[in-house]
Amino acid sequence: MKTERDPFIQKRQESGVEYMRAEGQEMPLVLRLQDVRKICKDWKTFSNDDPFMIVPHSEANVRSVRQYPIETDPPDHTDYRALVEPFFRRPNDANYQVSMQHLVDEVLAAAATPDCVDAVSDLALPLQSRSLARLLNVDDSEAKLWISWGTHVFKEGDGISKGAELSSYIREKFEAAEGSDADDFFSVLNRADFQSRKLTLEEKHGFANMAFAGGRDTLIHTISSIIAYFAAHSESLEFLREDHARIITATEEFVRYVSPLTAIVRTCPHGAKVLDAVIAPGGRVGLCWPSANRDETAFTQHDEVVLDRSLNPHVGFGFGIHRCLGAAQARLIIRSLLESLCNQIEAIKLIEAIPEVEQESSFERKVGYKRLLVSFIPRVPRALRPGLAA
């Protein structure tokens, strides 16, 4: 269990670079925290302006549009990002936070029976989808359909494309919202002005695509991994209950430790040199978040979960201009989940875990769970505990 999420340790220490086969190239993956940060800052050399190629294996066969704002560079990126920022800032609002805590309490209470439940399909997936409906300011009932899409919206586990369903759904939503003055994501993007013109349908589609896909499996894998952690360390719930400030540090620590996204890729239009790796013009380089987040020169006990870690300069949500737009939402969901677990759950019993493993030419890495069967042991209310008054 200790090193299963860190297949990069040896290369990180030896050379700082791991090579993987992607799109017919031996693509270097940058492994150390400072090198990853450096590349994130230099968007002129390391560009995002390469549609479908933001991940190691091209997504051209599973989606039809460029994703916004991620697959763009400044100055356009700055203007595109500004259009959707108000939605992604909603989790900073106190009322939104209260409503999210209620939602998480409700979803956990429904899932947390002493019977066997799947923490992926019964907890993580409904949490992700129902909270996305809140973020995009659309009716809760929309989430039912999103839940039915499963963990991945572009591909089945066997790699077969299912992106067409998401595409038709998104296009229908923009069409239905035509002329509406409502404040939901689709209506607002229909009305948005970008550099003194309206967005094209392709651009709106690309924004929605990112909103639906970007924070889906990342969040689902993080939530299921948190449940697996507490199943293995029941005493840790008590540790959080002893000091609520630990819920904040634990949230950051789970993002660092789980690092569900293995790599995001940059393209080098003019070529580049990264450590010993020479990248030809048009070549690509991967930013390996989980390895950077285990960099032993930056993190003490780098391969352990330290729930009260005070200094935690992780890059789980990226770094620089493309840092995760959904970070406030993801943090709020994780914090609310930890709060609900502390209030509702005494212990979690693991029944069966089927990990989700990414297999590449030179490494394999556990990113989360396909299925995580557990049973939740509820907390006995204080008033009912023997010897304790209400």
Pair of tokens at residue 332: 């709020």
Q: Which helix (H) or strand (E) holds 172?
A: helix 163-176
**Beta partners for residue 373, in sequence order:** 118, 352
Q: Which residues contact 172 (CB under 8 A, 6 or more apart)?
A: none
CB nearer to ligand HEM: pick between 218 and 340: 218
Asked if residue 186 binds ligand HEM (CB under 6 A), the reply is no
Q: How many CB atoms lie within 10 A of CB 59?
A: 20
Helices (H), 192-267: 201-214, 217-232, 235-242, 245-258
Which member of 185, 317, 363, 376 binds ligand HEM (CB under 6 A)?
317
- The Cα 300–Cα 363 span in angstroms is 24
Asked if residue 322 binds ligand HEM (CB under 6 A), the reply is yes
Residue 118 near residue 382 (C-beta atoms within 8 A): no
Which member of 16, 69, 206, 283 binds ligand HEM (CB under 6 A)?
69
Number of C-alpha atoms within 13 angstroms, CB side, residue 138? 22
Q: Measuring CA to CA, how many Å separate 371 from each of 28, 168, 333?
A: 31, 28, 20
Asked if residue 215 binds ligand HEM (CB under 6 A), the reply is yes
- In the complex, least distance from residue 39 CB atom to ligand HEM, rounded to whole angstroms: 9
Asked if residue 70 binds ligand HEM (CB under 6 A), the reply is yes
CB nearer to ligand HEM: pick between 237 and 255: 255
CB nearer to ligand HEM: pick between 7 and 69: 69
- The Cα 382–Cα 390 span in angstroms is 6
- In the complex, least distance from residue 136 CB atom to ligand HEM, rounded to whole angstroms: 8
Residue 140 near residue 133 (C-beta atoms within 8 A): yes
- In the complex, least distance from residue 315 CB atom to ligand HEM, rounded to whole angstroms: 7
CB nearer to ligand HEM: pick between 14 and 93: 93
User: Can you tell me which residue has the tokens 């989940």?
Assistant: 337
Amino acid (one-letter) located at 262: T
CB nearer to ligand HEM: pick between 334 and 345: 334
CB nearer to ligand HEM: pick between 36 and 62: 36
Number of residues that bind ligand HEM (CB under 6 A): 27
**Beta partners for residue 357, in sequence order:** 366
Which member of 30, 33, 133, 325 binds ligand HEM (CB under 6 A)?
325
- Phi, psi (deg, nearest 5) at residue 105: -55, -45
Residue numbers 99-128 binding ligand HEM by CB under 6 A: none
Residue numbers 25-44 binding ligand HEM by CB under 6 A: none
CB nearer to ligand HEM: pick between 70 and 345: 70
CB nearer to ligand HEM: pick between 163 and 326: 326
In the shown chain, the binding pattern of residues 193 to 212 toward ligand HEM, with x for contact by CB under 6 A and - for none, equals: -----------------xx-
Q: Which residues contact 318 (CB under 8 A, 6 or more apart)?
A: 40, 264, 287, 289, 324
CB nearer to ligand HEM: pick between 62 and 136: 136
Q: How many residues does the chain have?
A: 390
Residue numbers 235-264 binding ligand HEM by CB under 6 A: 255, 260-261, 264
Taking the mean position of all CA atoms in its chain, how far away is CA 138? 21
Contact residues for ligand HEM, defined by CB under 6 A: 48, 69-70, 81, 132, 135, 210-211, 214-215, 218-219, 222, 255, 260-261, 264, 289, 316-318, 322, 324-326, 329-330
